Amino acid sequence: MQLSVTGIIRRFGPVAALGGVDLDVAEGEFLTILGPSGSGKTTLLKAIAGFEIPDEGAVRLGGQDVTLAPPRSREVGMVFQNYALFPHMSVAQNIAFPLEMRRRPRAEVRERVAEALRLVELDSFGDRLPRQLSGGQQQRVALARAIVFNPRLLLLDEPFGALDRKLRESLQLEVRRLQRRLKLTTLFITHDQEEALIMSDRIAVMDKGRIQQIGLPGELYARPASRFVADFLGESNLLEGRARNGVAELAGFGAVPLPPAQPDGKVTLLLRPEALRIGASTAALPCRAEAVVLDTVFLGQSAKLRLQLDGGTEMLARLPLRPSDPPPPPEGSRVALGFAPEDLHVVPQG
Amino acid sequence: MSSPRAETPGANRRLMARRREAGLLLLGLPALLLLALVFAWPVLRLLSLSVEGGTLAHFEKAALDGLYVTVLLDSLRIAALVTAICLALAYPVAFWLSRAGRLGLALGMFALLLPFWTSVLVRTYAWMVLLGRNGIVNRMLRDAGWIEAPLPLLHNTTGVLIGMVHVLLPYMVLPIYAALLRVDPDLSRAAEGLGAPAWRSFLRVTFPLSLPGVSAGCALVFVLSLGFFITPALLGGGHVIMISMLIEQQVREFLEWPFAAALSTVLLLATLAIYALIGRLTRGARLATP
């Protein structure tokens, strides 16, 4: 069901944990709140789940104002960071809990628990206790428990944090598939930008109790609206310069053409590491410089290089590697680098 | 010098690992020796005293003479009552403490532990002053016009219960408090989010998970009550007789050491049986808690 948050403010003493948050999640949408710890994303989640009452603003679910409603009447399924499975109840009892609280007939409970267990591929685990399961299995039980009562909204609070990388990736895709299949409106909280890019329909980047930017993952990555978003989402080279008559003067690269209608004055330019090219292929590029390799990190399908321009500026480059490619330039070597001006994005000042 | 590790065969390594464990045992040795000397040895002596001369006559007397069975059952009944009252009073306190802020916790703990710093004897005499026919409690109730004749609060079971509950309450609160602290607050949040009203979330989640603390508190209070002496002796005024008082009487008045030993053995066995029973009843709860 559609979720709408308007003008939410929550103060703790003099500090505003939420400084006026507006957010709309469409029916069936998977929206991620991405932010560092202390950005207010957990407080926002609590206000939506009903564990926290905001000082100002409103939370609406399917048009109904639930700002002051207790958690139990909101019909919101939530997966906690540590799963919060009831340790003294079996997996089946855990999943049956929300149905029992709604006083569903016993036969229906049994049927829906079995269905939920099938959905998360834990058919034969109903009788086990949570602590007899692996972390990934516990996570799936928590998910089954959160969706078994057909909630109006699914909240996921950093549910993959405690899992190892391989498992995390497969569960992320599994959750995503399930969410699409059930058309569940979902709000996902994370500080992991990679996770946000993998899973979301849209991402809202949060910092200092406010939403800094909201949009499609590709949009946020290519055209961040602030330095913070550029820095937080993916790796970045942020270049400072002065614009005059549509051209910016950048240390090392000289004059770089800017997009049309760029006013004169200070500019911050974003260049993603994969847009910076190295070696012979740079000869044809309009913006070129020379640099020393500070270090090279081999990552398998690519290599990450930290470079220092002659002027002292440090830059990051990501070099795609095919098996037939020569090894990346070693530390201490001198390389030519360059980029195409259309790969630059002007980061709005603020 | 060659590396010693490379030459050490597996058996030798196990020996070294065992030595390390033995080192830990050594640290516990003084306490173990003390316990053996002042506890295990006297208990064994007591046991042997009760069957002195190779006869079970003392146990026979304890079992067949109606008085001793009645007193033992009475003691069990009072211990059970004290435990039940302590549990009813202590659980809400422990629950509140487990959720109190820093100041509330400090004040609560202070109030709870304050009586520990006063001798049981002093506290028991204080209760005698409070509960007597013309004691403070009766006078206040009469002045308020709530009663006409003074309530019988002293020298009966009521007085004994009040005094014992007062002394033993912290032994119930602390284990329950510790157990409640270990219950993740996200669990009750999860329960409420899944549709449980607060009371159902408590009954289905928080309470079952605190059972190990409840069981520890009950065992502690019950066992301590069963052998309690000073408080029932003074507040009961001879009208409430606990098994410990009979044992004392046998020793002090009749110098009947073997019979006192037999009664003590019965008390010890009863205590162990209760302990095992409580442990058994709450085994499931303990297994399920992480």
Q: Residue B187: its chain A contacts at CB < 8 A? A: 84, 86
pLDDT above 70: residue A96 = yes
Q: With an 8 Å Cβ cutoff, are B191 and A86 in contact?
A: yes
- The mean pLDDT value of chain A amounts to 91
Contact of A72 with B195, CB cutoff 8 Å: yes
Q: Which residue of A has its CA nearest to B286?
A: A88
Q: With an 8 Å Cβ cutoff, are A72 and B288 in contact?
A: no
**Beta strands A3-12 and A15-25, pairing class:** antiparallel
Architecture of the CATH domain B57-288: Orthogonal Bundle (1.10)
Sorted by sequence, the CB contacts under 8 Å of residue A9 that are 6+ apart come out as A16, A18, A19, A20, A21, A54, A55, A56, A57
Give the sheet arrangement for strand A254-257, strand by strand.
A254-257, A247-250, A237-244, A265-271, A345-347
Q: Given A70, A101, A129, which is nearest B194 (Cβ)?
A: A101
pLDDT at position A350: 65
CA distance B187 to A87: 9
The residues with which A21 forms a beta bridge, in sequence order, are: A8
Task: Please count the other Cβ atoms lying within 10 Å of the Cβ belonging to residue B90.
Answer: 28
CA distance A289 to A296: 18
Q: How far is B98 from chain A (nearest CA, A)?
A: 19
Mean pLDDT, residues A225-250 taken together: 88
Q: How many CB pairs under 8 A join A and B?
A: 64
Q: How far is B278 from chain A (nearest CA, A)?
A: 19
- The mean pLDDT value of chain B amounts to 86
Q: With an 8 Å Cβ cutoff, are B195 and A72 in contact?
A: yes
In chain B, where are the structural domains located? 57-288
**Beta strands A247-250 and A237-244, pairing class:** antiparallel
Interface of B with A in 51-80 (CB under 8 A): none
Structure tokens at A173: 């895709």
- pLDDT tens readout for residues A134-161: 988 999 999 999 999 999 999 999 988 8
The residues with which A241 forms a beta bridge, in sequence order, are: A267
Q: How far is A102 from chain B (nearest CA, A)?
A: 7
- pLDDT tens readout for residues B162-202: 999 999 999 999 999 999 999 998 999 999 999 999 999 99
- pLDDT tens readout for residues A60-94: 999 899 999 999 999 999 999 999 999 999 999 99
Q: With an 8 Å Cβ cutoff, are A86 and B289 in contact?
A: no
pLDDT at position B113: 86
B185: contact with A, CB 8 A cutoff: no
Q: Given A84, A88, A129, which is nearest B190 (Cβ)?
A: A84
Return the CA Rg of chain B. Answer: 25
pLDDT at position B1: 44
Sorted by sequence, the CB contacts under 8 Å of residue A233 that are 6+ apart come out as A34, A193, A196, A197, A203, A205, A220, A221, A224
- pLDDT tens readout for residues B7-65: 556 778 888 888 888 888 888 889 999 999 998 898 888 888 888 777 888 888 888 88
pLDDT above 70: residue B74 = yes
ipTM above 0.85, yes or no: no
- Go through the domains of chain A in sequence order and give each one's CATH number: 3-226 (3.40.50.300), 235-347 (2.40.50.140)
Q: Given B190, B200, B288, which is nearest A80 (Cβ)?
A: B190
Phi, psi of A10 (to 5 degrees): -140, 120
Q: Which residue of B has its CA nearest to A72?
A: B195
